[in-house]
Amino acid sequence: MGMADRVTVEIVGFSNSECGPFPCDEHRTCGLDDCAPYASLTGAFTALEARLRADYGDRVETKLTLLDDGVPEYVREIVDRESPPLPLILVNGRLRPIGRISVDPIKREIDLALAA
């Protein structure tokens, strides 16, 4: 099996959700500055998208799935099976146990997927 050419990182949550369970202050460890200090899911997604584009170019696609108007069946299956906290971080459709928008753990998952 060759290396993956592209990786999709999908963030799933509500438009008014926070980006994770930790406060957005000077002690944050998420690696993102552009969205501070609001802890907004949508702001953090935009900052993450820009960071991943800078680091990986077009090898990484980012996708934001908001649950405000309903829950897609594949998300419902993940939630029923694993009851994970929001936001969900999916890499190539698989739930990764990160639980927040944070650059370093997401990049580790991307690197693993690219190497697969």
Q: In this model, does residue 23 exceed pLDDT 90?
A: no
Domain span holding position 78: 7-115
Sheet of strand 60-66, all strands in order from the earlier edge strand to the far edge: 60-66, 7-13, 88-91, 94-96
In a domain, 91, yes or no: yes
In a domain, 48, yes or no: yes
In a domain, 1, yes or no: no
What is the dihedral sign for C-alpha 105, 9, 47, 16?
A: negative
Measure Cα distances from 3 to 7, 44, 69, 96 in Å.
Answer: 11, 29, 36, 19
Q: In this model, does residue 1 exceed pLDDT 70?
A: no
Q: In this model, does residue 71 exceed pLDDT 90?
A: yes
Other C-beta atoms closer than 10 Å to the C-beta of 77 total 11
In a domain, 68, yes or no: yes
In a domain, 59, yes or no: yes
Q: In this model, does residue 3 exceed pLDDT 90?
A: no
Stretch 69-93: mean pLDDT: 95
pLDDT at 22: 87
Q: What is the pTM of this model?
A: 0.93
Q: In this model, does residue 84 exceed pLDDT 70?
A: yes
CATH number, domain of 105, equals 3.40.30.30
In a domain, 2, yes or no: no
Give me the number of domains the chain comprises: 1
Work out the pLDDT band at 27, boundaries 50, 70, 90.
confident
